[in-house]
Structure 1
Amino acid sequence: MPSAAERTRTLVQSTCSAVLLVPGLSTARPGPLSAARPGPLTADVRSVGPDGDIFLVFPADAPAVRAATHAQDDEVPAVLELTDVAPVSVPHRIRGRAWVSGWLTPVPGQAGPGRMMLRLEVGGAQVDDLWGADVVDAEEFAAAEPDPLVRHETELLQHLALAHGEQVGLLCGLMEREGATRATPLALDRLGLRVRFGRRDGHTFDARFDFPEPVTDVTALRRALHRLFAAAAA
């Protein structure tokens, strides 16, 4: 099982949607905004530095940039909220959420013209996903590594669903006692494949198939999936 820190780091460095919540900011979001209902902002680029800080690139006139620039020595609290949606068509597509809290400071000269980079110094995080809900401290987040398949997961799952649906369907045979009639690949990481199965009555359930050993690249993943599908067909 990947650790909570690894899962959170993977979400941050994935392509899943993320908004920066800064209490008190006035944005174009309709409705009243307050410290209790902060305004969302989406960064053009996000990355993680070697010390675990999160770097976000915004337009230079973005409200978050103005807030961090004008704060001077004051700390600007913020939360990066991430939402992970399955890249394939399944019921209940949200696979997980994470919230990384910390403090914003500007990093001048590190973005292109008309852009400004902000650093989110991580104070802690929470993750609630297919594995469960966990709390992550700043040191754990900084020390964790993202899953090596994170940049390829979307295209791999879509390829499995579209081009190898028959092979994925063979896994229903392993779930015969559960009444599985259809299977859709739901999540993929270095340790295994998670599949969402459907029953005739319309209900769904998930099952995870662990690889014999962790995979480190797409080539090793293909071998692991081939063995899995071969076992299901036997």
Structure 2
Amino acid sequence: MPSAAERTRTLVQSTCSAALLVPGLDVIRPDHLVPDSRGIGPEGDVFLLFPADSAVARAAAHAQGDELTAVLEIIDVAPVSVPHRIRGRARISGWLTSVPGPTEPGRTMLRLEVGEASIDDLWGAEDIEPDAFRDVEADPLVSHEAELLQHLHTAHSEQMETLSTLLGDRTTDTCSTQRPAAVPVALDRFGLRVRFVETDGACFDARFEFPDPVRDISELRRAMYTLFEAASC
């Protein structure tokens, strides 16, 4: 399974919604707390791009040393329609400063030095040490996950439902015409998580591990073919 640090770093580098909260900062519109982009530097610092005239950028410009603390909050929502769509939340807190030097016109780059991090997601709740966050890489599928899940859901729904045959006793008494709907809810290099929604509205998750971790789309395609082949036997 991916470590808590890897899952948190993956969320930072994903397209999940995020907001930067600065204690004591009055902001009229919540969208003014949403960075235009975010990334991670080699030392594990989180870099956030904001409009130069935003309240967050102004506060960071006038901060001295480590006096300005901030929290980056990320909410991960499944990119497909499924019950209980929120897949997780992550929090990264630390010290906020402006990054000198040129950037996009009308924009300011801010640096969040990580002091603490935590995640609460489909795997559970854990705290992450800054060093662990610095030393891991994001999941290699992060930039494609939403598109891949949507494709599986719309173009391979019948094959997705056959995965229920791999669940053993969980669906022993379910005939083929009453298979639970199978919605792909999360994907990473280690496997696929599927949410099965039964006719009465009840749902449960199942995790299907790949034989080996995948490194790219080509390897993922082969892993999914193997999984669907096993389900059709």
- What TM-score, normalized to structure 1? 0.93
Per the alignment, residue 8 of structure 1 pairs with 8
Count of residue correspondences: 226
Q: One-letter code of the match for 1:22?
A: V
The answer to whether 1:168 aligns with 2:178 is: no
Which has more strand, going by share of residues? 1
Q: One-letter code of the match for 1:186?
A: V
Per the alignment, residue 201 of structure 1 pairs with 200
Per the alignment, residue 219 of structure 1 pairs with 218
Per the alignment, residue 191 of structure 2 pairs with 192
Which of 140, 145, 161 is equivalent to 2:132?
Answer: 140
Question: What's the CA shift for 1:177?
Answer: 3.1
Which 4+ residue blocks in structure 1 deviate beyond 6 angstroms? Answer: none
Contact 2:32 2:54 survives alignment (8 Å): no
User: Whole-Å Cα distance in 2 between the matches of residues 40 and 137 of structure 1?
Assistant: 29
The answer to whether 1:48 aligns with 2:40 is: yes
Per the alignment, residue 26 of structure 2 pairs with 26
Deviates more, 1:107-116 or 1:123-132: 107-116
Could you tell me the percent identity over the aligned residues? 63
Per the alignment, residue 81 of structure 2 pairs with 89
Which secondary structure does the structure 2 equivalent of 1:226 belong to? Answer: helix
The runs of 5 or more residues in structure 2 that have no matched partner are: 172-178
Question: What's the CA shift for 1:28?
Answer: 1.0
Counting only pairs closer than 5 Å after superposition, residues 63-142 of structure 1 correspond to structure 2 as: 63-142=55-134
Q: One-letter code of the match for 1:115?
A: R
Distance verdict in 2 for CA 1:64–1:98, change over 3 Å? same
- What TM-score, normalized to structure 2? 0.93
Question: What's the CA shift for 1:40?
Answer: 6.7
